[in-house]
Structure 1
Amino acid sequence: MTNNRKALTYGLATVAIWSTVASAFKIALRHMDPLQLLLVACAASIAALGGILLAQGNLDKLFGMERREAARCALLGALNPFLYYIILFQAYDLLPAQEAQPINYTWAVTLSLLSVPLLGQKMSLKDLAAILLSYFGVVVISTHGDLPALDFSSPAGVALALGSTIIWALYWIFNTRSKADPMAGLLLGFLFGFPLILAATLVFSELPTLTTESLLAATYVGFFEMGVTFALWITAMKYAALPDGGGTARVANLIFLSPFLSLVFIHFLVGEDILPATVAGLGFIIAGNALMQYKRRA
């Protein structure tokens, strides 16, 4: 198999799995509150990431990490998984999946916004157009297309979904300074984040009473949303960067398939009737993201 085909195979596998996680969120939240879901999912992700490092023979990269990098990973763990997923799961608890998922997808635009004050990047007119397109899509989705009324289905849910994009963008901005192995750094962050999640669950909720369905859904979220897909995506980008790999941009563009595929799974697995406004709003969000990526390559 050529490097190009390997890159596309791993990239498509990642996109396919990412497309199912919004449905898994909603299914798990029928049985658990957001903190309980995060507790179980984080434990599953630690097992998945640890297993991947063990299979790769890279556990030494975890235990041999410099103290400064380990401390950075610990701080990053407070952002992801702790703060990010608490906010994101709460948004999914308040909103239909077809609303929460596309709104969360504006994180790339939020990243560009925060890069101006935090990384010293400049904002062009093209950036501004991309931002306006994406956030107009958020308004279309949140109001179910009734723009004049500006009647949001759940203002708190929309605020939380947008807030999660800020945490996620901050995580990746601060993560750019890390010199740790990506997989080892992610696992260490989750190991540091787990006690915070456990403490929050004991204080603000309680340990979950697991059923077969809730355990499977939460474990699926942990294994795939937080663990395996990260490894698959890194592998896809690695092959894409090699000779005859086709280039990383080609693989990166596959991510635009995910939110539309996700709507299909949300309809059939969660049972939501997908509104025309959701598809239209998602189109604006994708257009904004695409414009932002085009600007970066230009």
Structure 2
Amino acid sequence: MTDQKQAMMYGLATVLLWSTVATAFKLSLADLAPVQMLLVACTASIVVMAAILMLQGRWGLVFRLRRGQYLQSMLMGLINPCLYYFLLFGAFDRLPAQEAQPLNYTWALVLAYLSVPFLGQKLRRIDILAGLVCYAGVVVIATRGAVTSLSFSDPLGVSLALGSTLVWASYWIIATRDTRDPVVGLFLNFLFGLPVIVLVCWQTAGLVMPVGSSMAAAVYVGVFEMGIAFVLWSQAMKKAENTSKVSNLIFISPFLSLVFIYFILGEVILTSTYVGLVLIIAGLWLQQKKVRDREQALSHG
């Protein structure tokens, strides 16, 4: 099997896992508060990433970093998992999965915009057009199709979802300067973020939680969305000869996610969700066009 085929297999596996997490979020939040869900999921992801590092013979890397890199993990851990998942799970707690999930996908566009001031990249007209198309989709979903009235179904839930995209994009901009092994870095970020989550959970929702399907869903999120999916996607990017082909697989995820949301959660998918999601994906496709064009130029060069 060629490296590109392996990359596509890793990419498809990741996309399949990502497609299930919106459903898992809602199942977990049925009985758990967002911060309790985060505590369970974060703990599970730490165990999984530690196991992966040990199986790959890279556990020793955790102890070979400079003091500044451990400090970096403490600071990055406050962003992800702490702040990012506080906002994201808060959004899923207030909004139907079919609304919260597509809004979260706009982080890729936010990343492109933040790359202008922080990474010195140029803003082109197609980026502005992509933004207009994307956020038209956001308005359609957030208003459930009542675009002219601009009455949002849950303004706080929508704000939390969009806020999470800003935090996630900021995290990846900071991560561009991170020279550590990606899994080691993420493991330490989560490890240092965990005490903060424990403290917030203890002071707010409490550490006593019901053991049942909600707990199992939270463990699933930690194992697959926070842990294994990240490792699979890293492998896909490492092996890809053409990264844009692998990256385009992401566009399958939100539509596949609606299938799980409909059949498992029983949410009736609104027409406005489909319309808004198509606009968001179209905007992201436009924004990604420069990456595809650059890769084609390099491959032909």
Q: Which residue of 2 aligns with 1:290?
A: 285
Contact 1:32 1:208 in 2 (8 A): no
Deviation at 1:57, TM superposition (A): 0.4
Contact 2:36 2:209 in 1 (8 A): no
CA deviation digits over 1:81-102, x for unaligned, max 9? 0000001000000100000000
Matches within 5 A, 1:91-240: 91-240=91-240
Matches within 5 A, 1:228-267: 228-241=228-241, 247-267=242-262
Whole-Å Cα distance in 1 between the matches of residues 4 and 181 of structure 2? Answer: 24
Contact 1:69 1:179 in 2 (8 A): no
Whole-Å Cα distance in 1 between the matches of residues 223 and 38 of structure 2? Answer: 12
CA deviation digits over 1:229-259, x for unaligned, max 9? 0000111122213xxxxx1111111011001
Runs of 4+ in 1 over 3 A off after TM superposition: none
Q: For the aligned residues, what is the CA RMSD?
A: 1.0
Q: Which residue of 2 aligns with 1:7?
A: 7
Unaligned runs of 5+ residues in structure 2 are: 294-301
Structure 1 SS opposite 2:240: helix
Deviation at 1:204, TM superposition (A): 1.7
- One-letter amino acid of the structure 2 residue matched with residue 52 of structure 1: I
Contact 2:244 2:291 in 1 (8 A): no
Q: Which residue of 2 aligns with 1:32?
A: 32
Whole-Å Cα distance in 1 between the matches of residues 244 and 85 of structure 2? Answer: 28
Q: Which residue of 2 aligns with 1:244?
A: none
Whole-Å Cα distance in 2 between the matches of residues 79 and 140 of structure 1? Answer: 29
Whole-Å Cα distance in 1 between the matches of residues 9 and 173 of structure 2? Answer: 28
Deviation at 1:29, TM superposition (A): 0.1
TM-score, length basis structure 2: 0.95
Deviation at 1:120, TM superposition (A): 2.3
Whole-Å Cα distance in 1 between the matches of residues 41 and 105 of structure 2? Answer: 21
Q: Which residue of 1 aligns with 2:78?
A: 78
- One-letter amino acid of the structure 2 residue matched with residue 193 of structure 1: G
Contact 1:37 1:218 in 2 (8 A): yes
Deviation at 1:2, TM superposition (A): 2.5
CA deviation digits over 1:236-291, x for unaligned, max 9? 122213xxxxx111111101100110011011111101111101101111111111
Deviation at 1:5, TM superposition (A): 2.1
1:271 aligns with 2:269: no
Identical amino acids, percent of aligned pairs: 54
Whole-Å Cα distance in 2 between the matches of residues 54 and 61 of structure 1? Answer: 10
- One-letter amino acid of the structure 1 residue matched with residue 254 of structure 2: P
Contact 2:39 2:197 in 1 (8 A): yes
204-213 vs 287-296, which moves further: 204-213
Whole-Å Cα distance in 2 between the matches of residues 97 and 208 of structure 1? Answer: 26
- One-letter amino acid of the structure 1 residue matched with residue 59 of structure 2: L
- One-letter amino acid of the structure 1 residue matched with residue 277 of structure 2: L
TM-score, length basis structure 1: 0.96
CA deviation digits over 1:4-29, x for unaligned, max 9? 22111111110000000000000000
CA deviation digits over 1:91-147, x for unaligned, max 9? 000100000000010001111121222222221111100111111100000111111
Deviation at 1:182, TM superposition (A): 0.2
Whole-Å Cα distance in 2 between the matches of residues 5 and 123 of structure 1? Answer: 33
Structure 2 SS opposite 1:274: coil
Whole-Å Cα distance in 1 between the matches of residues 191 and 36 of structure 2? Answer: 17
- One-letter amino acid of the structure 2 residue matched with residue 9 of structure 1: M
Whole-Å Cα distance in 1 between the matches of residues 20 and 145 of structure 2? Answer: 25
